[in-house]
């Protein structure tokens, strides 16, 4: 699947769920083609977000948008079918939550969608080197997962560059995604460090004018 890079992927975790359809439409009006869905279970991370019904509602609001589903949950294999049925185009699972990671990635791919692996800030990229040839995307967490609105962890720049080097050295084709603390202040630097897909939550949905903010962020990426 070909994508126009870099990609801005607004995280609906920061949206107003009472007007989710409207918030998503504002993003799409600004040119957004990816929607990021953060799924939290209150066990793997210390918060509960939402489930397949919200992903389904997001897909209904923007049927042409690419649904990027990030499972921050224990035992994600049990729930892959639910999110595929809800409209996921990509499902990413955490290295830290999958003791049989190859099997988990295969479980996602057998549904004919893209599969990604996620690493927490304290997890070394060394741990995921054996899976890199099998995944479509690697997501680097630039905050500790569980809550929106956190500050970007500065060491993430070096991690992005390290991952880009690993991709080049191995001749891999996966996309590099980053999630956490991306804002107007740092989005250009994050992209320059190697991110192909940039997740932004609060910086998009807490703006007074969502479409205008999307235009600002995408303008910085294009520059």
Bond prior to 6 in cis (omega within 30° of 0): yes
Would you call 38 a catalytic residue per the annotation? yes
Q: How far is the C-alpha of 69 from the C-alpha of 75, rounded, in Å?
A: 15
Which of 26, 38, 68, 136 is the catalytic position?
Answer: 38
Q: What is the mean pLDDT of residues 16-28?
A: 97
Q: How far is the C-alpha of 60 from the C-alpha of 54, rounded, in Å?
A: 10
**Under CATH, domain 7-222 is a member of which superfamily?**
Aldolase class I (3.20.20.70)
N- to C-terminal Cα separation, the chain: 24
| Cβ proximity of 57 and 21 under 8 Å | yes
| Cβ proximity of 105 and 97 under 8 Å | no
The residues near 39 (Cβ < 8 Å, ≥ 6 apart) are: 49, 50, 51, 55, 69, 70, 71, 72, 73, 83
| Cβ proximity of 35 and 27 under 8 Å | yes
| Other Cβ atoms closer than 10 A to 11 | 24
User: How high is the pLDDT of residue 223?
Assistant: 80
| Other Cβ atoms closer than 10 A to 167 | 18
Please determine, for residue 78, whether its predicted confidence score (pLDDT) is greater than 90: yes
Residue 2 pLDDT level (bands cut at 50, 70, 90): confident
pLDDT digits (tens, 9 = 90+) for 190-207: 999 999 999 999 999 999
Q: Hey, is 57 helix, strand or coil?
A: helix
pLDDT digits (tens, 9 = 90+) for 108-145: 999 999 999 999 999 999 999 999 999 999 999 999 98
Q: How far is the C-alpha of 214 from the C-alpha of 62, rounded, in Å?
A: 16
Would you call 209 a catalytic residue per the annotation? no
Taken in order 79, 15, 145, 172, the sign of the CA dihedral is positive
Which of 23, 68, 136, 179 is the catalytic position?
Answer: 179
| Cα-based distances in Å from 210 to 22, 27, 129, 196, 207 | 10, 6, 38, 22, 6
Q: How far is the C-alpha of 124 from the C-alpha of 162, rounded, in Å?
A: 10
Please determine, for residue 65, whether its predicted confidence score (pLDDT) is greater than 80: yes
């Amino acid at each position: 699947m070909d994508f126009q890079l870099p990609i801005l992927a607004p995280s609906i975790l920061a949206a107003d769920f009472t007007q989710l359809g409207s918030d998503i439409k504002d993003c799409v009006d600004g040119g957004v083609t990816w929607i990021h869905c953060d799924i939290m279970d209150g066990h793997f991370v210390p918060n509960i977000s939402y489930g397949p019904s919200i992903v389904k509602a997001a897909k209904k609001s923007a049927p042409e948008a690419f649904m990027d589903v990030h499972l921050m949950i224990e035992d994600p294999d049990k729930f892959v079918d639910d999110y595929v049925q809800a409209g996921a185009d990509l499902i990413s699972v955490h290295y830290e939550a999958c003791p049989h990671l190859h099997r988990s990635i295969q479980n996602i791919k057998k549904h004919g969608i893209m599969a990604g692996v996620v690493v927490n800030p304290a997890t070394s990229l060394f741990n995921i080197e054996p899976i890199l040839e099998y995944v479509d995307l690697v997501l680097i967490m630039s905050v500790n997962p569980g809550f929106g609105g956190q500050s970007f962890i500065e060491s993430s720049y070096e991690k992005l560059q390290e991952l880009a080097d690993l991709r080049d050295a191995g001749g891999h084709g996966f996309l590099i995604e980053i999630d956490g603390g991306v804002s107007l202040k740092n989005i250009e630097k994050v992209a320059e460090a190697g991110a192909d897909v940039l997740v932004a939550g609060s910086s998009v949905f807490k703006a007074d004018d969502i479409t205008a903010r999307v235009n600002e962020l995408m303008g910085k990426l294009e520059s």
